[in-house]
Structure 1
Amino acid sequence: MPRRPFGQEGQQQASLGEEQLVEKQLKDLGVSPTVIQKLKSRSMLTMRDMRYVVAMTPDELIDELALTSYEQAYKLQEAAKRIIGYRNTLVTASQLAQQKATAPSLLTTGVKSIDELMGGGLSGGEIYEFAGEFGTGKTQLSHQLSVTVQLPRDQGGFGAKAVYIDTETTFSPERIEAMAKRFGVENALDNIYVYRPLNTGELEYFVRHDLNTLLDQGVRLVVVDSVIALYRAQFKGLEWLSRRQQAINYLLDWLKRWGRIYGAPVIITNQVLTHPLPSGIALKVPAGGNIIAHASTHRFFLKKSGDTWIIECIDSPRIAKGATAEYVIKDDGVWDA
């Protein structure tokens, strides 16, 4: 795996002390010298790399490190989990409820009505899909969240950075500055990483191999605007549909893995398509089919309604289907209607 190209030079090259510590911990936890040497040869002996090991499936790990058995992969992953303090234990439903009640604060959208619709804001480790036609506010809301995540926790933020994966070249520094002035956030542009992939290959490589570097550097919001654009353009024809859906599913799966490990909300914006009904009525529905529908934790449809806009919940494990909130779009972002 190539060295990751993001972050400060001193952060790219892990300190010798950190590498030695991780190597010693792996030895103490029973990982074989052969496997440790494979990690060493790929410069994968940092805490960040241990999170990458935990995120992979055993089959991916065997392929990545050229391991010879499933047992080697399992032992390495269990050791990596111990090193980074990751726990995925069996709990009762009441324990899960308690964990959610004591979880870090929710991320505000900066719009009271939308926060109330979402139960207080966005939760870490969950995927939020915003679908809608052009001009309905998907990108504006994504920009605004990239600003509000920088707010301190007592103001509804995470005091953190954002990464904005811009597949349609719609990211606007000017809009960010206007929103930052509104929310009183200084140096907002310095705390947003923007990546513009040229094709689906670059997008997938970035999410799998580079995104956790930024998460390690304080990013706690991931935005993909939009998740479908490159796939619709570059997987043309029905003969490519199956491969396209598999590729989108794999991308979303990696986004979900990183979101859970780092506790970061993931925002994906989505385009719409026209779905004709036998009655002759044509419905606007989110693109991507069941793949995106099943991967998203919460799905919202954004639409224009007279002088205001409406965001409607179309699927969620805890928000009522059909629940709505009204908003308006101004020069400095999204506001309550």
Structure 2
Amino acid sequence: MEIANLPIPPSQRAKLLAAGYTTISSLSSISPSHLSRDLNIDFQEALDILKILSDASRFNNVAGNPGIIKGAQTAWDMLSEEQMQKHITTGCEDLDAILGGGIHCKEVTEVGGVPGIGKTQFGIQLAINVQIPVAYGGHGGKAVYIDTEGSFMVERAYQIAEGCVSDILDSFTDHNRDFSACQDKLQPNSFLANIFYFRVCSYTEQIAVINYLENFLTEQKDVKIVIIDSVTFHFRQDFDDLALRTRVLGGMSLKLMKLAKTHNLAVVLLNQVTTKFTEGSFQLTLALAGDSWSHSCTNRVILYWNGNDRYAYIDKSPSLPSASAPFSVTGKGIRNATSHCKRVRMM
């Protein structure tokens, strides 16, 4: 288990990482006095850290069973990992709340909505937010952005990075804390340098890039999110054989789910909407939202308009209740809503 995933304050986590302690095993034989000297903290604080580490080690081993075949994992291990897993903030507190803390790693989340609702803004915001340093409560990771429509705007990404840096500096005003090691990362240019951008112009290119991701993620171990904007664009344009399209999309979704689990990262699929004739009228629905595609994601979030306000609605999740939350698209990116409507209506 990595130190970065432990439930300890960000300042303590940063000091451990700066001192070269990256895993629990690296601290297994360290005494409180030794740790106190290494981190320049008092004895009691070092003792508290080691107690948390001991508890985390017990979580990993309590349900261990030497008879389990290699590759298996117990439900207890899964629960322990999930409880210690950090989520990627969306930038909007209300939206994070209904998502259980933000976008989940090891899961595939589909985000759909009408044009202009803010899907690409949402994707760029996540590509920036995943890079928030560990010392400031983030992942300190990198992002892969697969653009199928040409909607990614680097100037907008720079603005959102500036907004993220500004919010971080405003939130951490305690000058007694030493965050100097992270200052070089809190530059908009650094955020843009950690977004790996792929522009794909056909469904064959899209499949090729997704197949290549396994090797790419093995080389780039810090990648914590993969965003596809939008996932169904080329499949709606270029496919006449619907049965073949279903099989190809199914294979692609399985690869993405495996990547999310294997590399402990979040996969976010941005999706368009289309019209569907049901119950005697045309209604808006997510593109390719049939029975087969419905299994392609763990969570589904729909962005919609309620009057002049933007809302996000959890349409599907195995662990989260259906709920909606307002959000705004500002100059800084995705943020809390500036106004709230009492009446919420789905599109």
Match of 2:198 in 1: 195
CA gap of 1:285–1:157, structure 2 versus 1, over 3 A, is same
Match of 2:153 in 1: 172
CA gap of 1:308–1:155, structure 2 versus 1, over 3 A, is farther
Matched, 1:332 2:336: no
Match of 1:96 in 2: 78
Match of 2:287 in 1: 287
Match of 2:227 in 1: 223
Per-residue CA deviations over 1:277-321 (Å, capped at 9, x if unaligned) read: 22x343211111223311100001111122210110111001112
CA gap of 1:102–1:331, structure 2 versus 1, over 3 A, is closer
- Aligned residues of 2:217 and 2:263 also touching (Cα < 8 A): no
Q: Give the number of equivalent residue pairs.
A: 245
Q: Secondary structure of 2:291's match?
A: helix
Displacement after TM superposition at 1:251 (Å): 1.0
How far apart, in 2, do the equivalents of 1:182 and 1:169 lie?
Answer: 23
How far apart, in 2, do the equivalents of 1:161 and 1:195 lie?
Answer: 14
How far apart, in 2, do the equivalents of 1:173 and 1:211 lie?
Answer: 25
Query: Which structure 1 segments of 5+ residues have no match?
Result: 1-86
Displacement after TM superposition at 1:91 (Å): 1.5
Match of 1:310 in 2: 311
Match of 1:51 in 2: none
Q: Secondary structure of 1:247's match?
A: helix
TM-score, normalised relative to structure 2:
0.67
Please identify, of 207-216 and 251-260, the stretch whose mean Cα deviation from structure 2 is larger: 207-216
Match of 1:128 in 2: 109
TM-score, normalised relative to structure 1:
0.69
What is the RMSD of the two structures over their aligned residues, measured on CA atoms?
A: 1.8
How far apart, in 2, do the equivalents of 1:267 and 1:100 lie?
Answer: 18
Match of 1:272 in 2: 273
How far apart, in 2, do the equivalents of 1:250 and 1:296 lie?
Answer: 13
CA gap of 1:107–1:204, structure 2 versus 1, over 3 A, is same
Matched, 1:142 2:120: no
How far apart, in 2, do the equivalents of 1:263 and 1:212 lie?
Answer: 15
- Aligned residues of 2:232 and 2:287 also touching (Cα < 8 A): yes
Match of 1:50 in 2: none
How far apart, in 1, do the equivalents of 2:131 and 2:141 lie?
Answer: 5
- Aligned residues of 1:175 and 1:332 also touching (Cα < 8 A): no
Query: Which structure 2 segments of 5+ residues have no match?
Result: 1-69, 166-185, 338-347
What fraction of aligned residue pairs are identical, expressed as a percent?
30
Match of 2:237 in 1: 233
Q: Secondary structure of 2:321's match?
A: coil
CA gap of 1:314–1:216, structure 2 versus 1, over 3 A, is same
Q: Secondary structure of 1:130's match?
A: strand
Match of 1:248 in 2: 249
Q: Secondary structure of 2:251's match?
A: helix
Structure 1 stretches of 4+ moved >4 Å: none
CA gap of 1:225–1:96, structure 2 versus 1, over 3 A, is same
CA gap of 1:215–1:151, structure 2 versus 1, over 3 A, is farther
**Residue type at the aligned position of 2:102:** G
How far apart, in 1, do the equivalents of 2:123 and 2:113 lie?
Answer: 13
Matched, 1:207 2:188: no
CA gap of 1:159–1:314, structure 2 versus 1, over 3 A, is same
Q: Secondary structure of 2:204's match?
A: helix
- Aligned residues of 1:212 and 1:258 also touching (Cα < 8 A): no
**Residue type at the aligned position of 1:96:** M
**Residue type at the aligned position of 1:155:** Y
